[in-house]
Amino acid sequence: MQRLAEFGWRLLPFIAAITIWYLVRWSGLVDQGLLPPPHAVFVEIWRRSLDGGFLLDAWMSVRRVLLGLFFGMLLAVPVGFLIGWNRGVRRFVDPLVNFFRALPPIALIPLVIVYLGIGEVAKVAILFYAAFFAGVIVMYEGMSQINPLFVRVARTLGATDWEIFYKVIIPLTIPHVLTATRVALGVAWATLVASELVAAQNGIGAVIQNASAFFQLTTIYAGIVTIGFFALLMDSVLRAITRNFLNWQDRVAQ
Q: Distance (Å, rounded) from C-alpha 126 to C-alpha 193?
A: 11
By C-alpha distance, which of 221, 234, 251, 246 is closest to 63?
234
Kindly state the helix (H) or strand (E) to which residue 70 belongs, with its residue range. Answer: helix 53-85
Decide if 167 contacts 157 (C-beta within 8 A). no
Query: CB-wise, 60 or 178, nearer to another protein?
Result: 178
Residues that bind another protein (CB under 8 A): 147, 149-150, 152-159, 163, 167-168, 171-172, 247-250
Within 10 angstroms of residue 26's Cβ, the number of other Cβ atoms is 11
| Cβ at position 143, least distance to another protein in Å | 15
Q: Which is nearer to another protein, 63 or 167 (CB)?
A: 167
CB of 37 to another protein, least distance (A): 48
Nearest-approach distance from CB 200 to another protein, in angstroms: 43
3-state secondary structure at position 94: helix
Q: 23 or 153, CB closer to another protein?
A: 153
Rg over CA atoms, the chain: 22
Rounded distance between C-alpha atoms, residue 114 and residue 118, angstroms: 9
Name which of 157 and 233 has its Cβ closer to another protein.
Answer: 157
Rounded to the nearest whole angstrom, what is the least distance from the CB of residue 248 to another protein in the complex?
Answer: 5
